[in-house]
Structure 1
Amino acid sequence: MNNSIFKKFGLFLFVLVLSVVMVACGDDTEDTSSDANNTSDTATDNGSADTNTEDSSKLSGEITVWAHPYTDGSTGEGDMWKDFTANFEAETSVKVNFEQIPWANRDQKILTALAAGQGPDVFYVIPDQMPQYAEQQLILDISPYVSSEELSGFVPTAIEATSWKGKQYGMPILQTAESLVYNKNILTELGVDENSLPTTWDEFKALAEKAKAAGYYAFSYAGGGSLNNTLYPFLWQAGGNVIDADNNILINTPESVKAFELINEMYKKGWIPQDSITALDHDSLYFGGKLLAVNGSGISVNRLLAEKPFDFVIAPPLKDAEQLTYGTVGMFVGSAISKNPEAAAEFMKYVTNAENQRTFNNITQYIPTRDEAKDIFDSQQYMAQLAGYTQFAKPGIIHPEGRNVMPLIQAEIQAMLEGKQTPQEAADKSAAAIDGLINK
């Protein structure tokens, strides 16, 4: 066998293994609203990219682009993609074969296509997928095709989410940011000024105690859901983390343990509901007026505006050691087996430019990853407010095992809340489980 056959065979084996793992872990649907993200340690190594970016007038051939439905289809999304592809074709002479694929089983569909040497030249991923693909050389390092100047217009946290180990792999098109959305009616009952809401953990604890005394839960903690919306924001705010790119396990550091302690305290004192150990959501409690606050995003706000169950107010993300929150980033990446990588990279840059981000995010109601495009929300008070919080929004755990560590940590938190172990023990057992996973 020659080297190319060996490489294809190795890729095929990887696909089979990864597909089995992903099926076992479940098939997350895209959740760029809650799951639809601070100064970033932006990891981009552009080398000579400033002089090697592709002249779009010299491009030719064709590319295939896969994207997902980002709306219910009633907002002009289909026409948007027709315009994007037609305009790109006119500007570059590159034919674009666009296909919209469903969220369900998207990993398996992409991996199977790539293994067969087919599939898209450009496709959509989120941050917990990107490092896995990058480590296995399934996606294109676009550093040679994009300059530092071209990246400078993006929100730093969005670039952090699209790069891995010094290389740029994605061009971000959408972002979300979660922050505390308070029931204004409860605030009034508690005598709390909406302009003086908590900014720190200690201030929030004091308000949580008042809410509990008045018969309300203070906060939603859906322990059966994603850690992006439960543990991780507190972990980051305390100055902790789970694991870094060099496989240093950080989840049981003193900083990280503080987050475990906070969650345990909230549960023991009844600030969060009793079903928080395994609950998937607390929407009925919140929209029923029983919860003081939730971590909400753009979708939460739009639902509140549509249903009008109560008046609400959004507060900035909380701070302990740092002021941080969760927010996902959606990006387009290029296939490593693309026969037209220059055109693929150019399309990624084209679709994420400021003008097209205005169009895309106005239709989908996500937040642009370019500051200059956020003017689409100038007349939308709440979306404009959330857009301002993307500077604090981290996109989850950027690591090849980012998805797989979640159930390991979640099991230990659930045992902690059941009273079977202390916060320190839960953190230590989480660290041991993560070590077993990455060093197996």
Structure 2
Amino acid sequence: MKKKTVKKLLSVSLVSAMTVVLLAGCGGGSDSGDSGSDEGGSGDGKTLKVAAFEGGNGADIWEKITAAFEEEFDCEVELELSSELDQVLTKEIQNGDVPDVVYYNLGQESGFTETMLKEKAVADISDVFDDELKGKMVEGILDGTAAQPYGDGKIYLAPIFYTQTGFWYNATLVGEGKEYAVPTTWDEFFELGKQAKADGRSLFTYPQPGYFDATMYAMLAQAGGTDFYNNALTYDENTWTSDEGKKVLDTIATLVSSDNLWADTVSNANTDGGFKVNQQAVIDGDALFMPNGSWVVGEMANSTPDDYEWGVMGVPKWSADESQSVYTFTEQMWIPADAPNIDLAKEFIKFMYSDTVVDLCLANKTTNAETGEESDAPIVVPVQGAAEKLPEGVIKTSFQTGDDVVAVTGTWATTAPIEGLDMKGSVYGAIDSVSTGDMSVDEWQEQLVDVWSQCADAME
């Protein structure tokens, strides 16, 4: 296996008009629905270029996966790892150096994957998920817009890792026999906030406003059910003017009001590295709950006391007798439409769901860059039974299952490029302004109605 050394690049603006044009020139002209052959590519069919984002999962897992693939398929893998993969790939793709496989998620600040989708520069990989593989996958994981970004029934993004999200809390303080009981409904949650405030604590904080994505998705599904949720993802004009949509906005506004929100949340959320300060507030007991995923355990391990306990619960329900909607966050792998070795790339994606990779991911460990200390950092592949193999503890608990739990997936559907639209800022960034009182709920609603109208018009 070759490991490509990646030097830190100077600033490369992905959102500039020049970049969009260049990306369109690389991938926009391809027929992404006809991607089953290497014909016309420059690949040799035996060397696979894998570009992977180096994040919280560490680098070691990718070296192990690619080495196992090389052994099984008798090929060579050129592995490129970078914590600034969007910048690296933007430059390389402009220069005609297109990787075969990319691991880079939706929802990143750069919007790199979304831009590639908008420019039709991602290959259709529906045929990877034949009946055998579909039957092995966690139910529903392929159905949402996180796998089918155009809502056309075709899969372009492979959900290779998953975790369920919710409200993570300080279980040293909250739980059976602790100072505070675990709430089930929003009414109970806000009553708990009054109790916490009387004790000099805050009910809630959030790392950054973007962390409300999973919360909002779960709330929309909870408020209106599956059909309402799916319609919202594809910009139904009634999403935010409906009783269900307005209920979601009103509840979030109450959640981030001064009565419930830790006072330093907004300032930290907009400071470099401040998201960890907000997360630390939960560990320290200054705030009780925050939206997050299981990655927070490893992310905050270095500043978490040995006697601290994490807890996790689903986003509160409006009524105790409702089923619990839990948002499932996926990490995506995809194939550029102009990849030189598409057939081998598809085999690599299939390999990501093999027993070999499942076991490698569950045994994953990461090393703290500051202390050199190694710790368990299991990753769960979305195949049936993988989560059940996790050791007992909060990570395993975070994969909430049961007859009364409804897992929801997906993201806002991909549209053609819309000049001047900041989707994340409009949807989630406004939460900071609602919290500070600079924007009313009605103004936020009007803004969302306008955004949904623009996106509906740009749906393809």
TM-score normalised by L of structure 2? 0.71
Query: After the TM superposition, which of the residue ranges 224-233 and 214-223 deviates more from structure 2?
Result: 224-233
Question: Is residue 2:188 matched to residue 1:203?
Answer: yes
Question: Is residue 2:69 matched to residue 1:85?
Answer: yes
Q: Whole-Å Cα distance in 1 between the matches of residues 206 and 330 of structure 2?
A: 22
Question: Is residue 2:284 matched to residue 1:301?
Answer: no
Which amino acid is 1:88 matched to? E
Aligned with residue 396 of structure 2, among 384, 387, 410? 384
Equivalent pair of 2:168/2:312 in contact (CA under 8 Å): yes
Aligned-partner SS, 1:141 = coil
Question: Is residue 2:245 matched to residue 1:256?
Answer: yes
Question: How many residue pairs were aligned?
Answer: 386
1:1-35: CA deviation from partner (whole Å, max 9, x where unpaired):
xxxxxxxxxxxxx99637469xxxxxxxxxxxxxx
CA distance 1:398–1:369, change in 2 (3 Å): farther
CA RMSD of aligned residues (A): 3.8
Structure 1 residue 265, shift from structure 2 partner: 1.9
Q: Whole-Å Cα distance in 2 between the matches of residues 308 and 407 of structure 1?
A: 37
Within a 5 Å distance, the mapping from 1:25-424 to structure 2 comes to 60-71=45-56, 76-77=60-61, 79-90=63-74, 95-104=75-84, 106-128=85-107, 130=113, 132-159=115-142, 160=144, 161-164=146-149, 165-187=152-174, 197-222=182-207, 224-228=209-213, 231-239=216-224, 244=232, 246-249=234-237, 250-268=239-257, 270-280=259-269, 281=275, 282-302=278-298, 303=300, 307-308=305-306, 310-320=308-318, 323-363=324-364, 364-377=377-390, 379-388=391-400, 392=407, 394-400=409-415, 404-424=422-442
CA distance 1:110–1:361, change in 2 (3 Å): farther
Match of 1:29 in 2: none
Equivalent pair of 2:210/2:429 in contact (CA under 8 Å): no
Structure 1 residue 322, shift from structure 2 partner: 5.8
Q: Which runs of 5+ in 1 are unaligned?
A: 1-13, 22-46
More helix by share: 1
CA distance 1:170–1:409, change in 2 (3 Å): closer
Aligned-partner SS, 1:388 = coil
Question: Is residue 2:447 matched to residue 1:429?
Answer: yes
Q: Whole-Å Cα distance in 2 between the matches of residues 404 and 53 of structure 1?
A: 36
1:259-316: CA deviation from partner (whole Å, max 9, x where unpaired):
2211222344611123444541312322221122223422323446953363343334
Q: Whole-Å Cα distance in 2 between the matches of residues 101 and 286 of structure 1?
A: 32
CA distance 1:114–1:382, change in 2 (3 Å): same
Q: Whole-Å Cα distance in 1 between the matches of residues 386 and 331 of structure 2?
A: 16
Q: Whole-Å Cα distance in 2 between the matches of residues 315 and 411 of structure 1?
A: 24
Structure 1 residue 166, shift from structure 2 partner: 0.9
Structure 1 residue 426, shift from structure 2 partner: 1.5
Which amino acid is 2:291 matched to? N
Which amino acid is 2:132 matched to? E
Structure 1 residue 53, shift from structure 2 partner: 12
Equivalent pair of 1:172/1:330 in contact (CA under 8 Å): yes
CA distance 1:166–1:435, change in 2 (3 Å): same
1:91-119: CA deviation from partner (whole Å, max 9, x where unpaired):
xxxx3332222121x23433443444432
Q: Whole-Å Cα distance in 1 between the matches of residues 340 and 62 of structure 2?
A: 27
TM-score normalised by L of structure 1? 0.74
Q: Whole-Å Cα distance in 2 between the matches of residues 20 and 322 of structure 1?
A: 43
Identity of aligned residues (%): 18
